[in-house]
Structure 1
Amino acid sequence: MLLFLWLGAAGVAHAEPPTAELSRLPDGVAAPQIDGRLDDAAWEHATLLGPLTQVIPTEGAPPSERTEIRITYDRDALYLGIHAFDSEPEKIIARGMVRDGSLRPDDRISLLFDTFHDHRNAFLFSTNANGARLDGLIENNSSFKSQWDGIWYTRARRTEEGWITELAIPFKTIGFDPTSGTWGFNVMRNVRRRNEENRWASARQNKFLIDVSEAGDLTGLHGLEQGIGLDIKPSGSLAWTHERSRHRSFGNIDPSLDVFYRVTPSVTAALTVNTDFSDAAVDTRQVNLSRFALFFPETRDFFLQDAGIFDFPIGGHGAVNGLPFFSRRIGFDSDRDDVVDIRAGGKVTGRVGALNFGFLDVQMAGHRDVDPKNLAVGRVKLNLGEESYLGLISTHGDPVSNGTNSLFGADLNLRTSRLFGDQIAVLRAWFQHTTTSGPVGDDRAWGFLASYPNDRWSTSFGVSQIGEDFHPALGFVNRTGVRTTSGSLRRRWRPVGHWLRIVQTALAASMVTDLGNDLRSLSIAPTFLRLENQAGDFLALNAAWRTEVLKAGFEISSGVVIPEDRYDFGRLTLSVGTAPSRPLAVQLDFGAGSFYSGHIRSGRALLEWRASKHLFASFELLQNSVRLREGDFTTRLGRVRLNLVFTPDLSWETFLQFDNVSDSLGWNSRLRWILRPGEELVFVWNQAFDVQAYDFRGNRANLVGKVAWTFRF
């Protein structure tokens, strides 16, 4: 550990981050009206930030367009007025407008606030020339959680010189350290038609905006008030359901209550009663060609809010086997794809000094033969230095049986962004142990990962082990009794003054053995070449060679069983795509090769049409044609999205999905009207159809209307 910290401090001297001292609005000067005009007297008293610096495509160069950023505050809120000048205003790209929709294809402004000045966690707010709102939480310098929704205000307006946006962020919305007058801060502007990125701080290609440790400082923040810190959010839903298979229809009215109280400016307690998930987003369907259970991410707001505090990284990006806590285990019967009522729940999250913590307790109703259950999880992290931490996690309860289950885990995350001056390095180790009623076996899991995730070079190496009887009842595990060794290496070039923006090659490999070191799976996946031009269009050639040693047969498709044996197979995949900033964006993937005892041909086509800020449509088709000795089959999965966005506060989103494995089509249509931030109406229409020989028969329909209101004190 001492060697690691020494390496972090060694090397080239690190540049001092920029600093700006804020001016508070004088008494008698009204807060600016958020209308996108910058003509209020308040802006005359605001602090004007220094210039931005280009990061991409040319590190350290002046931006192609000027940006003026003004910041001021009073006791209630922080105010920002930003004039994004543009010499060709008719070429500004701004097609996104839906709340929390992706703004990556657009010209946009993103703002980072490290309100505890801990150099690792922050709030992020993004907007564009349409006044769209996207917000979220940055956790541990490495991940962005867009599921967090705060109450804040913004308006934007196009001008002959570019575009203007104004923002007001109430202090009731964000936690902060009241004893410190300094916040970490960064701002990023993207000029999308040039694929250009500019920042106030950390203007280096090896850093990302979410590297909170690289942010600059805002000083002079004093006398901030949050009232008594109480938000009361009552809601109610009216639902009607028709089930054709059971020949019945029924309706119900469900009131719900959420209460949030800031015990201190840095600690929040939340209470939910009769939690309502009727307006939650539907799962995105997947087709499973493996013998292991698929992972579906959480979509419910109650569990997504502050979810980052419960994160327990167990490996590289996307690793899920062995997660100690997976909130979809609560309030959801995965065996029957059915919702289980949550009667009440409580949550406390926050920071006290160097300690970060989160505690969640939920009372779940009984279902099938399972009694009502109390389920709990606790997570604690102790900050070490500027970027590292030591953590503990504990869970209790089994939502799918009447037995008992508990888990204890610990993790150590050592991170530096100062290796050799400005390079990032991470060392991570973790351990878990479960206790379950019944026979005792190998119920432990552990792992470690060393990574060097940088722009020009990126590499990682890790080992993990999951015991045969490891059973996290509130977590996720789909393969036990295995040891996994994995590694990756990527090299990226950024040619200067060339039509190519990125040239990249990579290699990823993993080996899975049983605990007796007998091979079970082997994967070698090279990216021979990936090219990306200045606009963002790309071409890639990938391969994947695999070995699977089956100790038992498994049914890969209806009536097609792959028998016990060793199988060696591989596939080549060619991918080509256009930049998402284009009005019509296309991505095509074509793959072919051997597969178990035969061959496979796979394809994916994605078409996205951003007609205007009011209309977005996409079509996606995935197909696998498999020919095996044991039988032939073809899987198809289709997705269609249609979004009508009338204003930044009023949208109608429709999502259709079809797959020929379940022979069903799902329809989800959601009308959302945000009367003002914190007050909204939502109407949801879910419809499921059985599809057999093109005979569409609706077997379940569900209509829901929901109103939610937030009262702040």
Structure 2
Amino acid sequence: MVIPLSTIRFSEGAQNWNVNFYRIDSEYGERSTWTPIPRNFSLLTLAYSRKLIFEEPLEKNSANISLIPYAAARTSKNFLEGTEESLTPSFGGDAKIGIGPALNLDLTFNPDFSQVEVDQQVTNLDRFEIFFPERRQFFLENADLFDSFGQTRSRPFFSRRIGVDIDSATGQNVQSKIIYGARLSGKITEDWRVGLMNMQTATDEEAGISGKNFTVMALQKKIFTRSNVGLIFVDRESLAVDEYQQLFDPTAYNRLIGLDYNLNSADGKWTGKVFYHRTFESRETVSPYSFNAYMLYSDIHWSWSVSYQDIGQDFNPVVGFVPRVNFKRLNPDLAYLFYPKSNLINRHGPKVEFEGYWNEDIGQTDRDINLGYLIRFNSFAELEITQKNRYLYLFQDFDPTRTGGVPLPAGTDYYNKTVQLEYKSNPRNPVNLELDAEAGQYYTGNFQRVTGQMGLRMGYLANVSMNFNYARIRLPELQSDADLILVGPRIDLTFTKKLFWTTFIQYNNQIDNININTRFQWRYAPVSDFFLVYTDNYFPGDFAPKQRSLVLKLNYWLNI
């Protein structure tokens, strides 16, 4: 993706940038950087940069105000409920205002995200909710300021909780109406960053959804060379709806306040995080907190980390993402890399991981002990094999196939052993493959699964990929066997520098659905687009339609 210079907010009066440049020679497999980076670190590591000094300070060349109005029209039909929406127009837009050299105000009114592509589905064999990344542009800009709080198992703020619901018929995420939103984000000084966001969603009486107001405040202070400390506050207020009015309901709120410390040493070898978050609700709660402490050390040979996490019984960030609560978790791991003098292998080495969960009522509830070996080739291809030893305890009844079969009873526990093989081919080749295969014991039976992605690059003209997932589950009587299949071919075509077409088809027999999403994009002016998006859902057996929709959208980027 090319970012037009007109969309970049330059700091007026700046005389230098901390930057790095890298070059990749795909023909010879060489990488070179302006600032030397140790081979065990990513090219994007921020610990290694130099100052790019300008002959003259940067000058402000505009008022840094942009208006992005849009007009859209949508028609849809729900065959399951027998409802139909005629072609309905909608209007709205965004505004971007530069406040000072590094502080931006973003405003949105009646935002529309109909052009955003659908999520890539997965076969869910887990007992907990699956995380799907944010794709809407308004929430992606400066998202790192809000997303840097917490970690993968305890996110205090997850923007997809705003204006997104799940369609029970198709399993797809669908939009709920956002009335307006505002976000102030950026740097106040060289060491201070701030993020303020407020969003208001609409009431949908037919769906039984009351409007909600979301407020997020984040403050971050740089300390030492590359470390920082941050404070976050999240508030969701619900509306009380009656026949005549909509008022904020003082008994329906959910709030969170948290403090994070992020460690990043000057040489990039030491990283870590410590945070404490707490939620507040109108009801009485027990231990509504989340605590985490993590440390990682990595040099050219050794890599080790240790993490301790404690999430209380009633920790409930409804605008965040927390798959499970009421546990304590310990997760140390250790790895070592050898660098042989070889024309084939770049590095290789063993890794051992331990992950254990427990709580005060039950004791140990989960345990994983994994032994693995990684090989990275000079071609950038990777091969890793892992032997897994798992113990888990069921808190509630659970169907291991998640297809409506007879569940395993709560209060039972299981010991399973599996072997996993992961392979990534040379990413520079026109044809590439990522493969993840695992086989072994699965609860009371056994399973074999294969997950992967194949890709074909045809220059700048086309990108063709295929996501696939097959899980063969065999369980004893009373429980159900299953053959779970997910196939998702995708085609991205670039006709010219202004015309693009993307088609994504997904067949998922776990949710009994075929989804087709095709999108045409015409960039008729800089950062200004026309979109035509068609989405359809079918039952796999007889191709009976479930839902379909057609969206037209036109936006225009105007710099003032």
Q: Which amino acid aligns with 1:393?
A: I
Per-residue CA deviations over 1:614-652 (Å, capped at 9, x if unaligned) read: 122222321111112223112111110112111343211
- State the match for 1:562 in structure 2: 408
Paired residues of 1:194 and 1:534 also in contact (CA < 8 A) = no
Q: Paired residue for 1:275, among 111, 114, 117? A: 111
- State the match for 1:342 in structure 2: 178
For 1:398 and 1:513, how far apart are their aligned partners in 2? 33
Instruction: Report matched runs for 1:686-705 at 5 Å.
Output: 686-692=535-541, 695-705=542-552
Structure 1 residues 441, 218: CA separation in 2 closer, same or farther (over 3 Å shift)? same
**Does 1:670 pair with 2:513?**
no
For 2:226 and 2:369, how far apart are their aligned partners in 1? 32
Q: Paired residue for 2:95, among 252, 259, 263? A: 259
- State the match for 1:426 in structure 2: 271
**Does 1:307 pair with 2:307?**
no
Instruction: Report matched runs for 1:548-627 at 5 Å.
Output: 548-556=392-400, 557=402, 558-563=404-409, 564-627=411-474
Q: Which amino acid aligns with 1:469?
A: D
Paired residues of 2:462 and 2:493 also in contact (CA < 8 A) = yes
- State the match for 1:642 in structure 2: 491
The alpha carbon displacement at 1:602 in A equals 1.2
**3-state SS in 1 of match to 2:160:** helix
Question: Could you tell which deviates more after superposition, 545-554 or 256-265?
Answer: 545-554
Q: Paired residue for 1:447, among 292, 298, 306? A: 292
- State the match for 2:243 in structure 1: none
For 2:367 and 2:181, how far apart are their aligned partners in 1? 43
- State the match for 1:244 in structure 2: 79
Paired residues of 2:150 and 2:156 also in contact (CA < 8 A) = no
Q: Which amino acid aligns with 1:389?
A: N
- State the match for 2:38 in structure 1: 204
Per-residue CA deviations over 1:157-201 (Å, capped at 9, x if unaligned) read: xxxxxxxxxxxx35x61242x344111121100012332210111
The alpha carbon displacement at 1:478 in A equals 1.6
Q: Paired residue for 2:380, among 536, 543, 547? A: 536
For 2:224 and 2:422, how far apart are their aligned partners in 1? 42
The alpha carbon displacement at 1:313 in A equals 4.1
Per-residue CA deviations over 1:331-388 (Å, capped at 9, x if unaligned) read: 0124754421100000000111211010000111113334322110000001102201
Instruction: Report matched runs for 1:401-480 at 5 Å.
Output: 403-418=252-267, 424-480=269-325
Paired residues of 1:182 and 1:217 also in contact (CA < 8 A) = yes
- State the match for 1:36 in structure 2: none
Q: Paired residue for 2:69, among 218, 234, 251? A: 234
Q: Which amino acid aligns with 1:554?
A: F
The alpha carbon displacement at 1:296 in A equals 1.2
For 1:285 and 1:487, how far apart are their aligned partners in 2? 31
- State the match for 2:160 in structure 1: 328
Runs of 4+ in 1 over 4 A off after TM superposition: 398-402
Per-residue CA deviations over 1:379-406 (Å, capped at 9, x if unaligned) read: 0001102201111000111569961111
Structure 1 portions without partners, runs of 5+ = 1-99, 101-132, 134-149, 153-168
The alpha carbon displacement at 1:290 in A equals 1.9
Q: Which amino acid aligns with 2:156?
A: P
**3-state SS in 2 of match to 1:211:** coil
For 1:476 and 1:304, how far apart are their aligned partners in 2? 17
Paired residues of 1:175 and 1:267 also in contact (CA < 8 A) = no
The alpha carbon displacement at 1:678 in A equals 1.5
- State the match for 1:4 in structure 2: none
Structure 1 residues 606, 456: CA separation in 2 closer, same or farther (over 3 Å shift)? same
Paired residues of 1:399 and 1:474 also in contact (CA < 8 A) = no
- State the match for 1:92 in structure 2: none
For 2:287 and 2:424, how far apart are their aligned partners in 1? 47
Paired residues of 2:10 and 2:58 also in contact (CA < 8 A) = no
Structure 1 residues 173, 606: CA separation in 2 closer, same or farther (over 3 Å shift)? closer
Q: Paired residue for 1:224, among 52, 56, 59? A: 59
Q: Output the aligned Cα RMSD.
A: 2.0
**3-state SS in 2 of match to 1:417:** coil
For 1:205 and 1:424, how far apart are their aligned partners in 2? 13
Q: Which amino acid aligns with 1:193?
A: E
Q: Paired residue for 1:511, among 352, 356, 366? A: 356
The alpha carbon displacement at 1:451 in A equals 0.8
Structure 1 residues 333, 203: CA separation in 2 closer, same or farther (over 3 Å shift)? closer
**Does 1:356 pair with 2:201?**
no
For 2:61 and 2:311, how far apart are their aligned partners in 1? 46
Identity %: 23
The alpha carbon displacement at 1:280 in A equals 1.2
The alpha carbon displacement at 1:245 in A equals 2.2
**3-state SS in 2 of match to 1:246:** coil
- Scaled by the length of structure 1, the TM-score of the pair is 0.72
The alpha carbon displacement at 1:260 in A equals 0.6
**3-state SS in 1 of match to 2:337:** strand
**Does 1:493 pair with 2:338?**
yes
- State the match for 1:96 in structure 2: none
For 1:480 and 1:540, how far apart are their aligned partners in 2? 31
Structure 2 portions without partners, runs of 5+ = 241-248
Structure 1 residues 412, 605: CA separation in 2 closer, same or farther (over 3 Å shift)? closer
Structure 1 residues 203, 550: CA separation in 2 closer, same or farther (over 3 Å shift)? closer
- State the match for 1:397 in structure 2: 236
- State the match for 2:244 in structure 1: none
Structure 1 residues 685, 620: CA separation in 2 closer, same or farther (over 3 Å shift)? same
Instruction: Report matched runs for 1:189-200 at 5 Å.
Output: 189-200=23-34
Structure 1 residues 471, 334: CA separation in 2 closer, same or farther (over 3 Å shift)? farther
Structure 1 residues 589, 450: CA separation in 2 closer, same or farther (over 3 Å shift)? closer
The alpha carbon displacement at 1:230 in A equals 0.4
For 1:256 and 1:553, how far apart are their aligned partners in 2? 46
**Does 1:173 pair with 2:8?**
yes
